[in-house]
Amino acid sequence: MRNILIIGAGKSTSVLIEYLLKKSDSEDLKIKIGDLDLESAKKMAGTHPRAEAVALDVFNRDERQAAVNEADIVISMLPARFHIEVAKDCLHFGKNMVTASYISEEMELLDKEVKQKGLVFMNEIGVDPGIDHMSAMQVIDRIRDEGGKLLLFESFTGGLVAPESDTNLWNYKFTWNPRNVVVAGQGGVAKFLQEGKFKYIPYNRLFRRTEFIEVKNYGKFEVYANRNSLKYKSIYGLDDVLTLYRGTIRRVGFSKAWNMFVQLGLTDDSYLMENSEEMSYRDFVNSFLPYSPTDSVELKFRHNLKIDQDDIMWEKLLELDIFNPNKKVGLKRATPAQILQKILMDKWTLAPDDKDMIVMYHKFGYELDGERKQIDATMVNIGKDQTHTAMARTVGLPVAIAALKILNGNISTPGVQLPITREVYTPILEELAENGILFREEEKEYLGYNPFGEVGN
């Protein structure tokens, strides 16, 4: 019997564990699920005879190493910053490893030793990063195989609420870690390439430099730039590309409204607010507005951000109940971002019967035999329920498939890596398609980067 250790039993592991348990008899697998919260691990294991739930504290060195040593492969579903200790244990005991997180600098430093030991440390194998890498490289490699030259690559992904569950003015609910939404774009500048020109968007302008995309059967969306698109020039082998732009998808109008919070400073996560526990929601908002002995908080807010009373932006704020004097923040020593997250979670948490949706969109512009061409590729996946969410499916399935392929020797090239080689992406994308996660491609007239019909650079 072959042992798979899964560390972390959060929401994204439900489909991952279900997939491996379905394969456990035919593949002779024992699935051990370790989590600090034993009840969470037990819930994921259920009563399956090939599943075992254990209490596992990743900060307990002896406990962690004992679990890793017993495994044939380790899947870490921990927060990204905790992978490195598990990775060092895997290196020490000679175990392959899979994570869905971006490769950290610390993880990258292990590459030489991982290769020396002939191990596979597969990272960035969830949805974004993950499915985005694999689906993009499949088309990029196909264009190159045909003799084409890439001129443009754009890629956007969004975790959204499904149309049937879209019930608020923001057209948004939390489908993943709320904190990541609140602090998105902070700590740097968005960098990308458009028609051979380097472009930069600082955080204070990020949510007002949006662009539109159209997804067949699902309508129009907006996108804002991710932090650093330029690193994908080398990762994807696009050194000569003219346009390289990655971003996040939201429904149209979200970013303009979110920018209100950015401009006031409500998304700041760099300092603690005094007496935050006793603040009301209204007190919190008023903390960022000028003092006035006569004007109301609402009036000051509208005046400072130049919002008319009949503006939809104002309706969106009222919907959040953000001016309520009776609701308490209830968080000790909290940052503005933490308080805003608390307020938003009151309104944007998925209801029990809500469904989420993942939308991914790639645009490839290329030249072949002297003719410029374009391919648009889109993927939409809608969750079934609160256990089988689209997020859990698109993260968990590629992780599970990759782990089994590595365990069976189908993926064997050693090193700390992400899934951009044919050895990795071909079988995984084929199996994802069998599970309903597939891309629809459409050939279009190549227009270059010119979303608004503008001239110039």
Closest CA to 379 of 428, 441, 444, 446: 441
At CA 339, angle to CA 334 and CA 340, rounded to 5?
Answer: 150
Round to the nearest angstrom and report the end-to-end CA distance of the chain.
60
Token pair belonging to 302: 């509208």
Residues 6+ apart with CB under 8 A from 439: 135, 360, 362, 377, 378, 379
State the amino acid at position 225 in one-letter form. A
According to DSSP H, which parts of 320-414 are helical? 336-348, 390-407
Tens digit of pLDDT at every position of the chain (457 positions): 999 999 999 888 999 999 999 999 999 999 999 999 999 999 999 999 999 999 999 999 999 999 999 999 999 999 989 999 999 999 999 999 999 999 999 999 999 999 999 999 999 999 999 999 999 999 999 999 999 999 999 999 999 999 999 999 999 999 888 999 999 999 889 999 999 999 999 999 999 999 999 999 999 999 999 999 999 999 999 989 999 999 999 999 999 999 999 999 999 999 999 999 999 999 999 999 999 999 999 999 999 999 998 999 999 999 999 999 999 999 999 999 999 999 999 999 999 999 999 999 999 999 999 999 999 999 999 999 888 999 999 999 999 999 999 999 999 999 999 999 999 999 999 999 999 999 999 998 887 755 433 434 5
Taking a C-beta distance cutoff of 8 angstroms, is the pair 382, 356 a contact?
yes
Cα→Cα distances 282→112, 249, 297, Å: 54, 30, 8
- The SS3 of residue 1 is coil
Architecture of domain 2-123: 3-Layer(aba) Sandwich (3.40)
Residue 69: predicted pLDDT: 97
Contact by Cβ (8 Å): 302, 308: yes
- 341, with CB counted inside 10 A (0-12, 13-18, 19+), is buried
**Rounded distance, CA 50 to CA 144, Å?**
44
pLDDT of amino acid 139: 98
pLDDT at residue 449, rounded to an integer: 57
Q: What is the DSSP code string of 267-294? A: T--SSPPTTGGG-BHHHHHHTTS---SS
Q: How far apart are CA 200 and CA 314, in angstroms?
A: 30
Q: Can you give the pTM of this predicted structure?
A: 0.93
* Cα 119 to Cα 408: distance, rounded to the nearest angstrom: 13
Q: Where are the domains of the chain?
A: 2-123
Backbone dihedral angles phi then psi of residue 78, each to the nearest 5 degrees: -75, 165
